[in-house]
Chain A
Amino acid sequence: MAKTTKNNTIKLNFDTKYAPAPESKASAKIDAKYDLFINGKFEKPSSKKYFDTINPATEEKLSEVADANAADVDKAVKAARTAYDKTWGKMPAKERAKYIYRIARMIQERAREFSVIETLDGGKPIRESRDVDVPLVANHFFYYAGWADKLEYAFPNKKIAPLGVAGQIIPWNFPLLMAAWKIAPALATGNTVVLKPAETTPLTALKLAEIIQESDLPPGVVNIITGAGATGAAIVNHPDINKIAFTGSTNVGKIIQKAVAGTDKKVTLELGGKAANIIFDDAPLDQAVEGIINGIFFNQGHVCCAGSRLFVQESVYDTVLRKLKDRLESLIVGDPLDKNTDIGAINSKEQMDNIVKYLKIGEKEGLDMYQSSCPIPKKGFFIRPTLFTNVAQSSRLAQEEIFGPVLTIQTFRTDDEVIEKANNTPFGLSAGVWTDKGSKIFNLTTKLRAGVIWANTYNKFDPTSPFGGYKESGYGREGGLHGLGAYLNL
């Protein structure tokens, strides 16, 4: 064979530190100051107080928003009650649907603006707000708009009626999506709304208020007021509210539960989780590794249904761990506005401190910690994706919700063992099962005590699918047909 003497191979740098590709901020119009959206108008708070909302990736101030006190809440509830009595409650369902469709379309039209602001205010990567959050938001409005004039088919042979005024309190992890989950079914069923977004992420909800104003929705049907815990408490305790819908921490859920005891308020609570993500030895391992990554590092792990407890069958443990560590290295942590970023900023200083506290507990417990070697920005709140191995069921890290990019890894031997371990938690929101065998999936889905169980995938959401928990993960369902029932007297 003739030998080729010259080597024509070139080597050039093409690694995962891709050149920056930031999304433009130009489409995001953020005002210097936001008032409360009450009765179709932006009104100054009677407290006269405002608080800052910052970009967690840079710690720079984005805007300031009004701090609503009890008097403001009362004003909003009165507006909602009037709208319910005078316009919205009487409106034919078909007409209601038109408004909801209009809101859905307007969200689609301004999808880019919403994505950019969601990322600026909350720290989540633009890839997620663009490809997941905002499309789902529009889909939720479309889906429930479709139900508005078909409620009698959703609940045949029942005399259905709306509840009245719904007080809705939402968290900071999916600010706009949670607003959509709350507002869309409430409007479709003929209720009016007082909604409070989280204090660290109020901007997209206020942008939604602008859209609602432009959509000519009758004044008072949706009121959006900002504030912290005290504002939320004022909503929960307001006597003229018929329904409380809350998504957030289990601790606050318990407080709400106590506050509404003895009243005739209806309640749905969607609280914390500590989901088991279970990998069997016959699973398609490369795809399972992808599911593990998606399960725990999606939205920096700020997901109530995050797959934060990984269970790997012992016979494939070494392989899975090696693949997982390799995959961790290709994750890009950094500027959330960069289109290549996989993991963005932790939502707030407070949450960052909380996660760091757990990292320290893990170290103290003697667990093996592994973090990817990726560089992270000096400014802003960032944490490297973290794995803990050598974790026992009795470890605090495996028991408590961390709400960050931190995964604990445990091993198991048999199906029964893993079912028992997975259910051995006060939570019960979600779980994941990875196996090639259909019968095993059915066995586990019937025995795992969790509201949502994903098979060979994770963190998939759809407006048609109900979502909610068992045990301390709350009660009531949002999404799908079940989500309608939560806003109706049946």
Chain B
Amino acid sequence: METIIVENIYKYYPAATKKERNKALNGISFTVKNGEIFGLIGPDGAGKTSLFHILTTLLLADGGRATVDGFDVVKDYKQIRKRVGYMPGRFSLYQDLTVEENLQFFATAFETTVEKNLDLIHEIYIQLEPFKKRRAGKLSGGMKQKLALCCALIHKPSVLFLDEPTTGVDPVSRKEFWQMLKSLQLQGITTIVSTPYMDEANLCDRIGLLQNGSLLGIDTPENLTRNFGKPLFALKAEQMYPLLLHMRAYDQTATCYGFGDYHHITFIDPHIQQADIRSYLQGVGFTEPVEIRQIAPGIEDCFMDLLNH
């Protein structure tokens, strides 16, 4: 069953110059299945927040239609608002209310009580409990994030919208946050989450790669990487920056990017041999030992490949 259906959604914003209209969303279509974690991956300005605002009924689209949990985002906005939990990108709880007061406020606004729904947030709330008398504004970043998640869950929503919940958060806290999402999934909650971190894409059931208001690809992480469709090489040497410059200057190189401790390179000729690469490097005077191996692409390789088309 499909919990979210998005059909050909457009959104325009007035542009800075009169010549062009800014298309924030350019004919977006996708579905999210019941109980799925769906990731919207893309940089700032790709249109993630506009799409979230449309689906949570905070913004009207300029074209297309969408339903959430079977309800139309325009006609049935009141039903949708009761059923979704939304964690905006910017921390938007009441800074001068305590942890406890924020939870009570959001529970009351949804005509329920904290006690009634404690089981859903219990696992997250026990980490917050020592600070329950502290004002939200005085919490650390990780704790603010946990409180925001609790407030978004306090009315037992069927769909959870998380807009960049892990941006600017360190890798350890990010990992913990994703463990919480996985355990919420076990309780049947459908989650749509946006992130600029490519490594988080692998933790989603399916992902959509968003750039400049268009979806470049929608699939499971496994299928997206399987469809890369050309050999990818990883190169490493002691002098990585000169190696990068030499490989970019190679007339056989199609793309060449730094990738952590290796450079990832695709070539114009799909049948290129390691010996060809080595003899080129020798020829331009790069004589130190170079490790060359063919590797399987990751999500980030795929995203960059799609960006180049």
Q: Do A and B come from one complex?
A: no
